[in-house]
Structure 1
């Protein structure tokens, strides 16, 4: 399993935005593209998708730019991936309305995919943008939900 380049770039862009004033200051897509190495047309495309998903606010013109729509600790990796990729699903057969598999009516595994999808989404939802930004002054998603224990594997995530 691998994220698309667009989803990866969205994580990189939002992580850079979170590093700047906790995402509360405005930055241009051009500045983000230059800082991260993401091509400007791709950054502009992602700004549209991320704004449509409610993860960033975008304002055009003088004094405009983009900023996170909420604190980095409340934006998760799952939020970012779903903004770009759509709902997290390991196979197409579990998506509503997708019936493109010849084994669909006799598949004994299909009923179990929602459990797997929930586990993957849960793992991604457990990683906040604050953690990815490496900002110790941001509380983590887990800390804000009452559990201060940090998963040692997640603490090694870096971009």
Structure 2
């Protein structure tokens, strides 16, 4: 599955904000654009959408900036991807709302892809932003912050098992 650029940028922004949560200086769009390697105009669109969805809080003007609207443990990765990703690959077959595809009645590909997409989102529903940033020293070095100061991450299963103290 190919992740859209919008989802990629949204996750970078959320991870950056999570690593810097609790700092006293505001997080500026310019700082985020530089650190996550995104054009400021494209970033503004993503930040606006993340704010509309309730993932980010924004404040305009002097001393303004962006921040997570809640704790990273409350931001479910599956929710972020559902907001930014189309459910199916963009092909003529799946965009064919009128059912004019000659294989429509016999097609087994679409239900298979629907099941795969459901499994993808189900897996991401078991991950939070906290799971991605907490204890991730490499990410902290890249973003110049310190994630999980005084927080405890909830344990998750499988290959994404992480602990924070």
State the TM-score, normalized to the length of structure 2.
0.71
> Contact 2:126–2:156 (CA<8 Å) still a contact in 1?
no
What's the counterpart of residue 60 of structure 1? 60
Count of aligned pairs between the two proteins: 148
Deviations 1:27-75 (A, max 9, x none): 1211111222222122111111111222112221123211111211111
- Residues 117 and 85 (structure 1), Cα distance of their counterparts in 2 relative to 1, 3 Å cut: closer
- Residues 46 and 102 (structure 1), Cα distance of their counterparts in 2 relative to 1, 3 Å cut: farther
Residue 82 of structure 1 and its aligned partner are, at CA, apart by 2.2
Q: Output aligned runs, 1:1-159, within 5 Å.
A: 1-21=1-21, 26-86=26-86, 88-89=87-88, 99=99, 101-134=101-134, 135=147, 137-140=150-153, 143=154, 148-151=155-158, 153-155=159-161
Structure ranking higher in helix proportion: 1
Q: Give structure 1 stretches of 5+ with no counterpart.
A: none
> Contact 2:21–2:67 (CA<8 Å) still a contact in 1?
no
Q: Give structure 2 stretches of 5+ with no counterpart.
A: 135-146
- Residues 17 and 123 (structure 1), Cα distance of their counterparts in 2 relative to 1, 3 Å cut: same
Residue 105 of structure 1 and its aligned partner are, at CA, apart by 2.4
The CA distance in 1 between the partners of 2:100 and 2:49, in whole Å, is 27
| CA RMSD after TM alignment | 3.1
Residue 19 of structure 1 and its aligned partner are, at CA, apart by 0.4
The CA distance in 1 between the partners of 2:23 and 2:79, in whole Å, is 16
> Contact 1:59–1:66 (CA<8 Å) still a contact in 2?
yes
State the TM-score, normalized to the length of structure 1.
0.73
